[in-house]
Amino acid sequence: MKLRRVSAVLLAAVLAAGTLAGCSGGKEAATEAASGEKVNLKFYIWSDGENYTREIVDNYNKSQDGVNVEVISMPNETYDDKLKVMLSAGSDADIVNVRSLDQVMQFKEAGAMKDITDMVKNSDLDISKFGSMWDTCYPDGVITALPMRSSCWMLFYNADIMKEAGIDMAKQMTWSEYGDIAKQLTSGDGTKYGGCWVDWNIYQCIGTQKGVYLNDDDITTVKDGLATLGRFFLEDKSHVPLAEVKANDSQYLSDFENGRVAMLPNGEWLINMLMTDEKDGKTDVNWEVAPLPIPEGADPGATWGAFQFAAIPKDAKYPQESYDFLKYLCGEGGSEVLPKYGMLPAYGGDAAKEAFDEVVGKESVSSVAFNSKKIPEAPSYEKYNDLKVAFAENAELYLYGEKTLEETMDKFEQQRQDIMSK
């Protein structure tokens, strides 16, 4: 998913201009609440989350006498841009989905979201259940959004292929060991590949497993990770060629489901995609998961992941009622529903794990999803998406064989200095 970055400075200016137009909202809300009328909260979401979101909202509404939450779904492809316009021009939104930490930081810098730090501290929300990624999202302690969903990258593999080859996938592998297996399982004629690496601007993420980001002073670890990908694509030719992957957005899924690809590093959302295709009779692949391979020196179980968030716009008419729902959505309420759809809730705990086990029916999945050491895919840095895009453009030229590793890193270093100095 590629984000079109909005200038936080420009957004802040537009927000300031729109503040006067929304000043009457607080008075209207107070009048309505005082009259005893039912408070209606408008929750804006992107369309591909509509099924599980509506179930969470329906459950919440059934438990409330004075509040009703209305779900307003917008097309997934245009949601991010429309959200920026809404927040700039002023809207009737009480709660909104926010797709990434990048956006949370941008909206925070622009003053577009309500500071809910005190609300969180004064509530019974157990923030420890958000896990190890929580602190990295709020380095200054100011909370403007709560995590709703969590992603966790893991290694999907074809259990039948591994059994036939006599390969044990139970242990934690390094990327070097993974590469050896991928090479072993590649036919060499394009009919069978050991692995597939998706083209989703994650070329830097092997370095992320050791806590190194594109904005760090020393990015040697990122270079080493890209060299590992170079081995897969250019030396061993054990992975589906990048040009082929980029030509078809669903290539990775069909290749894994039909047995052309034996191993597929991917996120937990693939679980739901595989289960859906199994239900629809599109595949009978015998899939399992293992911990994501790690670079040498990384902690066992280290993987990358990210949160998806929900937040309250700064001019929301009903901040307390909005927070009460937000706490339910991102806490126990959401964690009970999301696993039913193969989704990993940001708010963990035994109940979420048990629900996940019941739905998926594979012990390996919950073991990896709930026990991995998740490191945020991106740091709390508002320019990080720009760095990711620049690195991806250079990395792909290298993986096509058009640039050397040194040329790639030298060019990116020039670009990142320019991006970070602005």
Res 302: pLDDT: 96
pLDDT higher than threshold 60 for residue 243: yes
CA 316 – CA 92 distance, rounded (Å): 7
Indicate whether 397 and 261 sit together in one domain.
yes
Total-model pTM: 0.80
In a domain, 14, yes or no: no
Long-range contacts of 214-221 (CB under 8 A, 24+ apart): 214/384, 214/387, 214/388, 214/391, 214/416, 215/379, 215/381, 215/383, 215/384, 215/387, 215/416, 215/420, 219/409, 221/295
Q: From the CB of residue 21, how many other CB atoms can be counted at a distance below 10 Å? A: 11
Indicate whether 257 and 319 sit together in one domain.
no
Helical ranges in 155-216 per DSSP H:
159-165, 175-184, 205-208
Indicate whether 266 and 187 sit together in one domain.
yes
Res 14: pLDDT: 41
CA 398 – CA 229 distance, rounded (Å): 10
In a domain, 22, yes or no: no
Res 36: pLDDT: 65
CA 228 – CA 179 distance, rounded (Å): 8
- The pLDDT tens digits of the residues spanning 318-360 come to 999 999 999 999 999 999 899 888 788 999 877 778 888 888 8
Indicate whether 138 and 166 sit together in one domain.
no
Res 358: pLDDT: 85
pLDDT higher than threshold 50 for residue 20: no
Indicate whether 283 and 362 sit together in one domain.
no
In a domain, 28, yes or no: no
Encode burial over 184-207: b for 16+ CB neighbours within 10 A, e otherwise. ebbeeeeebbbbbbbbebbbbbbb
Q: Which of 274, 275, 279, 272 is nearest to 261 (CA)?
A: 274
Region of poorest pLDDT, from 12-26, 269-283, 408-422: 12-26
- The pLDDT tens digits of the residues spanning 79-97 come to 999 999 998 888 899 999 9
In a domain, 144, yes or no: yes
Give percent of the chain above pLDDT 90.
Answer: 71
Query: pLDDT grade, residue 164 (50/70/90)?
Result: very high
Indicate whether 314 and 192 sit together in one domain.
no
Res 184: pLDDT: 98
CA 250 – CA 238 distance, rounded (Å): 19
Start-to-end CA span in the chain (Å)? 24
In a domain, 25, yes or no: no
pLDDT higher than threshold 90 for residue 371: no
DSSP 6: P
In a domain, 96, yes or no: yes
In a domain, 51, yes or no: yes
CATH number at residue 370: 3.40.190.10
Indicate whether 191 and 97 sit together in one domain.
no
Indicate whether 408 and 372 sit together in one domain.
no
Q: Which helix (H) or strand (E) holds 311?
A: strand 307-311
Residue 171 structure tokens = 């242990």
Task: Please count the structural domains in the chain.
Answer: 2
Q: 359, 376, 393: which is the final residue of a domain?
A: 376
In a domain, 19, yes or no: no
To the nearest whole number, what is the mean pLDDT of the chain? 90
List all residues 6 or more positions away from 330 whose beta carbon is below 8 Å from its beta carbon. 125, 146, 147, 148, 310, 346, 347
Res 6: pLDDT: 40
Res 272: pLDDT: 84
Range(s) of the domain holding residue 106: 39-151+304-376
CA 173 – CA 355 distance, rounded (Å): 28
Indicate whether 253 and 393 sit together in one domain.
yes
What residue ranges in 86-244 does DSSP mark as E strands? 95-98, 146-150, 153-158, 193-195
- The pLDDT tens digits of the residues spanning 175-218 come to 999 999 999 999 999 999 999 999 998 999 999 999 999 999 99
CA 352 – CA 330 distance, rounded (Å): 12
Distances (CA, A) of 212 to 104, 277, 295: 21, 36, 12
Indicate whether 113 and 59 sit together in one domain.
yes
Indicate whether 127 and 251 sit together in one domain.
no
Res 125: pLDDT: 95
- The pLDDT tens digits of the residues spanning 43-74 come to 999 998 898 999 999 999 999 999 999 999 99
Indicate whether 283 and 410 sit together in one domain.
yes
Res 35: pLDDT: 53
Query: pLDDT grade, residue 8 (50/70/90)?
Result: very low
